[in-house]
Amino acid sequence: MSGTDHDAVVFPGLAGATFADLGRFLALDQFARPLLRRARTVLGYPVLQRLHDSGEDDYSEAAQVASLISSLALAERALLTASPAYCAGPSFGVRATAVLSGCLSFEDGVRATVGMARQERAYFENEHTDLVTQTVVRVPDEKLTTLLGEWNARGERLELSGDLDQGFAMITLSETRLAQFRREIGALGGYNMHTMRPPAHSVLFGGLRETVAAEVLPALTFREPALPVVTDQDGTVADTAQGVREMLLNTFDRPFSWPAVVASLTAHGVRTVHLAGADPLFHRLDSTRRHFRVVRVDPRSALRPTPALAGRT
């Protein structure tokens, strides 16, 4: 699409997915409540109660389903005023993206999320138990590239798992080398942020990809997407069922690239992005603010009354 300015809906991934973060929103929001009922029919248990019982585990099965539901409920709210031409969702956001695009039904989106969560948990209980993914910021790209090259030349594997922005990246490495890595990032003038356990987005996790392809995806019905999807690995546009299916699998063993998503959306005429979900990060990135008008649709703001919803129940 070209010749005019377009909107896109972007799902910012898995963040703030505990009961403390989402419980009130899920219980009160008029878009979330019907989705909770539908999810219970699929799963056979109440998601909100299971989320409460899972405590502060952002990666629990219930937290992942709750994040999916909240993201899609917030997207419904965004669609009251927006007519998106594209959708995207880096990292965990690919699951909500597959549903919003029309490629998966909501019910299959829930099945996919639960199936992937269970396979991930089982996989990392036995495989690559020594790896973590470290987020670093304010490290010049050329210095980070040099650092990765030096470590890999010594046989100490460092892998780029996520490219967020200039000097902002996710790196997968052995936890036994984490302290040294953090010191070297500091010496380069950078800062160490979140450490993910289990790790994510590594070519080492091909076994997980294969398991999900064999055990989770065959039970799902993939349709041609009604809304084109910008894939988070390289920004290509997926407008077929197979393309979206590959995007879901690629999230396990390929790094994601937000700059590639930004470049693709911009090239396709997108000027406004609606960030549907709890987002402590993407709206703050320089590339996001430089290229788009950002409309945040998050759980906190969604509970405030708005004229567009007056009279709706």
pLDDT of amino acid 18: 74
Q: Which amino acid is at 280?
A: P
Q: What 8-state DSSP symbol labels residue 297?
A: E
Q: Which residue has the tokens 């709750």?
A: 66
Q: Two tokens at 85?
A: 């031409």
Phi/psi-derived region of residue 3, left when phi > 0, alpha when psi is between -120 and 50, beta in every other case: left
Task: Report the distance separating Cα 191 and Cα 139, nearest Å.
Answer: 8
220, 266, 280, 293 from 273: Cα distances, Å: 29, 10, 15, 6
pLDDT of amino acid 306: 60
| pLDDT, the chain, mean | 91
User: Within 10 Å of residue 36's Cβ, how many Cβ atoms?
Assistant: 21
Q: Which amino acid is at 264?
A: S
pLDDT at 311 over 60: no
pLDDT at 45 over 60: yes
Per-residue pLDDT tens over the stretch 29-42 = 999 999 999 999 99
pLDDT of amino acid 310: 44
Per-residue pLDDT tens over the stretch 88-118 = 999 999 999 999 999 999 999 999 999 999 9
Q: Two tokens at 131?
A: 């790896």
Domains 6-126+204-309 and 131-197 share a fold: no
pLDDT of amino acid 101: 97
Closest CA to 144 of 104, 105, 184: 184
pLDDT at 3 over 60: no
DSSP string covering 44-80, please?
A: SS-HHHHHHHTTT-TTSHHHHHHHHHHHHHHHHHHTT
Per-residue pLDDT tens over the stretch 128-138 = 999 999 999 99
pLDDT at 211 over 60: yes
Q: For the domain made up of 131-197, give the CATH fold.
A: Alpha-Beta Plaits (3.30.70)
User: Within 10 Å of residue 269's Cβ, how many Cβ atoms?
Assistant: 16
- Of residues 54 and 105, the one with the higher pLDDT is 105
CATH of domain 6-126+204-309: 3.40.366.10
Per-residue pLDDT tens over the stretch 141-167 = 899 999 999 999 999 999 999 999 999
Pairing of strands 131-137, 6-10: unpaired
Q: How much is the pTM?
A: 0.92
Task: Report the distance separating Cα 227 and Cα 250, nearest Å.
Answer: 20
Sorted by where each begins, the domain ranges of the chain are 6-126+204-309, 131-197
Per-residue pLDDT tens over the stretch 244-291 = 999 999 999 999 999 999 999 999 999 999 999 988 889 999 999 999
When mean pLDDT is compared across 82-96, 143-157, 197-211, 297-311, the lowest value belongs to 297-311
pLDDT of amino acid 246: 97
Q: From the DSSP assignment, how many helices (H) and strands (E) are in the chain?
A: 13, 11
pLDDT at 313 over 70: no
